[in-house]
Amino acid sequence: MAQREHVRRRSTHHAWFITGPLAFVAVVCSTLTSLVADPAFGEWWLAAALLGVMVGFGMPVLNFVVRRQSFGATLTEIPLVIAFYLLPPLTVVIIYTVASAVTQTRHRFAPAKFWFNVAKAAAGTSLAGLVLQALPPMQNVGPGTWPILSAAVAAVFLVSLAGIVGVHTLLQGWQAGRDALRTVPPALLTAAINVCLGLIILIAVTETYWSAALLAALGAALILVYRSYAQFFRQHRTLSEMYDLTRAIGERGQDGALVDALLGRVRALMQAEYATLWMPAQGRHPEVLLTARVDDPGLLDVVPTPQELRDQAANEGRTVTVGRAFEGGQAARRALNSGKIKDVIVVPLRSGQAVIGTLEVANRLSDVGHFTGSDIPVFETVAAHAAVALENSRLVDRLRHDAYHDTLTKLPNRRRITGALEEAVKIRAPGEVVALLLFDVDQLRQVNESLGHAAGDKVLVEVADRLRSCVPSSALVGRAGGDEFLVTLRLESAVAAMELAAQLREQIRDEMVFDALTLDVDTAVGVAVHPDHGSDAASLLQRVDLAATAAKSVPGSVQLFSPTMESRSLRRLGLAADLRRALDEGQLEVYFQPKVTLRERRLLGVECLARWEHPAHGTVAPEDFVAVAEHTGQLGRFTEFVLREGLRRSRDWTHAGQPLAVAVNLSARTLTDQHFPARVQELLDEYGVPPQRLTLEIKEAGVLDGTDRPIPTLRRLRDLGVRLSVDDFGTGDSSLAHLRRLPVHEVKVDRSFVQGMATDPGDLAIVNAVVTLSQQFGLAVVAEGVESELTLELLQDIGCEIGQGFLFSRPLPYERLEAWFGAQVDPETISPGELPRLRVVP
């Protein structure tokens, strides 16, 4: 194959290796003919007349294109038959060689091809002269003369055929030689017809010279018929190839091979050596500059024509032509000549009024052919079809790209990541895992609400850029949607995945500066790996979501998936319908846990806590069914159920002479309901409970989320007279200073700090700081999780006023709470206007 490529690239100057032997044959045969022929030369006036006839018949050429070269069939056999009959052989050699030289000059052949054709003509006629000398002499134009003249012409044809096959094989290889041999049947048929016509003309002319006038008229008529037929044939061929081209680019436009099919068909249709497509860079599409050449399979990035022609066509929006048949500037022609390009047509490709590129053809195949004005409309029609196909192809590619990429960050979207993950898990690589990392951006909603969605978009783009720049080159980064980003790659183990997730999280946490604003952005990261956590993409995506959700509960953490996360998630999913049924059938129950003053141990009230004993699952944790209620639209109904039960008991205790306050926990989502304060007022009026006996507890993360969103609802509740409490204070990222802007009355210190007071000086310091500052702000402080006398004493020492915990009582159902009242409340302390006092705990 390498040898064949080398042969195919040989210069045309190597044709001298064939031209030389042909010239030698011509000299030898002519010399021998001069020795045996008598006479060797004839009448020169007749020779001059036949020379003119030969030149006239040699001008029109019927071309058979073979790769880059062409096999030209002319009408020269007709005058050659007459010359062999009327003139001596050496005279025929001279006038045929001269006629060949004249016609080659008229066609402007290159020197190598010029001398090859001249030598071929001389060798063929000189050999034919020897053949005539070897055969019996011709007496008349009867049937005996016909084979002799045919043999002479056959000698010329065989020498011409041998020379053409030899030069094609030498320059382009054996395949080109075999292709040239395939043109022998039509060429031989043409030569046989020409010989017959020559004999007929010879018979007519020898009979009477007046027949030449009739033959001339007949020839003119045949020329007109031939031109009409040739034009019709060209039109039919053009329409057929246009149809094939349109169908081909329509089919190839769907499989990504459009340019290859387009340029190959265009080059064949226009019978050009080169066909070039140029489309400048547009958006994410790079510049396209590709060429199809007749010699080479596939496409080349080598362009033979100068760039200024393409620029001119694109800038001016019109067809640019340069060549013998076109009017063009001398500079353009010189540029073509320097590049060995004889003619070129460049057509702009349009999409509406815009020019999207150019299509060009260069070098009409065969050295005697040139592009003409009639080729321009055909090529412009081809270019119009090509422009539509190319624009549609880019549109389809753009739609396909958009379907698999995020518009904002330009990252692959969840669908693309899922496809890549599906392919990755199919390949089991020993010692490696397919890791999937999910980054959830914290507090993006707060950025959107405080600074606008444009700022939130900038944050997302910055996170995407940082992930792209920090991940290993083998990783695929995508945006799963909203504020979530996915990274998938192969790593050594799950431990390596956790380490990479931590490193990437630290890179994202660096300060982000937008104009004059600096933001600190953190992420919660979930990690899942194949095959440990799933065998397919769907299960891995589901489980990495669970891991990221678990990471959100501990701000800024990295969590590896564990089966307990999935079991809890599945359990919550199954509880959705059961919760609705439980609310309908009264399966939920409200427990009560007393709140006590620490110094005097007076009973202030109770906290209402919902409990659910599921018939199949047993006791359901409150955080589980509260989360289900939040995500299934049942939160309002669930909250109202607890409120009703608490207010009803408060009313009953008041009527029994024990006016106790009740506290009810609220979800942060409840504060977004603008109708909630009005509903609280309706329930207070319905049960006749003074608003100051109702305390609504909201977790710290719900009221101190960095925005002012919950404040309007809190103020409306405060205006009703309801007490407000911040629950689980200390577990979030907020500070005590944030409490100053909230309309709350009470702070509940989280049990994790209270229970550690006796053993951890740090917890003791935290509780002491909360109590001191809260009291300075005029807020009551409730300590949760009081379980020992030592803890109680420490709380009393630092001035904490209220406590709640197992030291006093666990959460109790109403019946057991009544029994607890009877056992723990000192009857002697029950008096109007005072809180009941508890007996001393033994």
89-141 pLDDT tens trace: 888 888 888 888 888 777 666 777 888 888 888 888 888 888 888 888 887 77
Q: Mean pLDDT across the stretch 769-777?
A: 86
Residue 720 CA: distances (Å) to CA of 588, 691, 723: 28, 7, 9
pLDDT of res. 82:
81
Here the tokens at position 110 are 């290159």
Three-state DSSP state, 476: strand
Strands 661-666 and 694-699, how do they pair? parallel
pLDDT at residue 338 is higher than 60: no
What is the SS3 assignment for 439? strand
Query: What phi, psi does 182 have (nearest 5°)?
Result: -70, -20
Q: Once rounded to an integer, what is the mean pLDDT over residues 194-211? A: 78
- Alpha-carbon Rg of the chain, whole angstroms? 50
Least confident residue range of 391-400, 534-543, 777-786 = 391-400
Dihedral angle sign, alpha carbons of residues 549, 553, 559, 565:
negative
One-letter-per-residue 3-state SS of 30-63? HHHHHHHCCCCCCCHHHHHHHHHHHHHHHCCCEE
* Mean pLDDT within 563-570: 65
Compute the Cα dihedral for 103, 107, 111, 112 and give only its sign.
Answer: negative
The neighbour count for residue 741, using CB atoms within 10 Å, is 10
Most confident stretch, 79-88, 184-193, 388-397, 492-501 = 492-501
| Residue 802 pLDDT class (50, 70, 90 cuts) | very high
For residue 8, what pLDDT is reported?
44
Using the 8-state DSSP alphabet, how is residue 411 labeled?
-
Confidence grade of residue 5 (pLDDT, cut at 50, 70, 90): very low
Of 234-248, 287-301, 827-841, the least confident: 234-248
pLDDT given at position 695 = 93
CB burial of 763-799 (b: ≥16 within 10 Å; e: otherwise) equals bbebbbebbebbeeeebbbbbbbbeeeebbebbeebe
pLDDT of residue 607: 93
Greatest distance between any 2 Cα atoms in the chain:
165
Output phi, psi for 474, to 5 deg.
-80, -5
pLDDT at 568: 61
| Residue % of the chain over a pLDDT of 90 | 16
Residues β-bridged to residue 285: 282
* Residues 457, 384 contacting (CB under 8 angstroms): no
Confidence of residue 301 (pLDDT cuts 50, 70, 90): confident
Q: Is residue 281 a contact partner of residue 287, using CB atoms and an 8 Å limit? A: yes
For 418-455, the pLDDT digits (tens) are 999 999 888 877 889 999 999 988 877 777 777 778 88
CB 227 within 8 A of CB 62: no
Q: What is the helix (H) or strand (E) element at residue 254, kind and residue range?
A: none
Rounded Cα distance, 188 and 455, in Å: 81
Q: With 70 as the cut, is the pLDDT of residue 60 above it?
A: no
* Distance from the Cα of residue 338 to its chain's centroid: 41
| Summary mean pLDDT of the chain | 80
Other CB atoms within a 10 A radius of the CB of residue 757 amount to 25
How far is residue 614's CA from residue 591's CA, in Å, rounded to a whole number? 16
Tell how strand 476-481 and strand 354-364 pair up: unpaired
Q: Determine the pLDDT at residue 499.
A: 92
pLDDT tens readout for residues 687-709? 999 999 999 998 876 666 555 67
**Per-residue confidence (pLDDT) for residue 68, from 0 to 100:** 42
Mean pLDDT of 558-581: 73
Three-state DSSP at 281 gives coil
DSSP secondary structure letters along 639-662 = HHHHHHHHHHHHHHHHHTT---EE
pLDDT category at 348 given cuts 50, 70, 90 is very high
CA distance 677 to 716: 6
- Per-residue pLDDT for 487 more than 90? yes
Over range 543-568, report the average pLDDT. Answer: 79
The tokens for 356 are 């999207």
Three-state DSSP at 233 gives helix
Tell me whether strands 62-66 and 802-804 are parallel, antiparallel or unpaired. Answer: unpaired
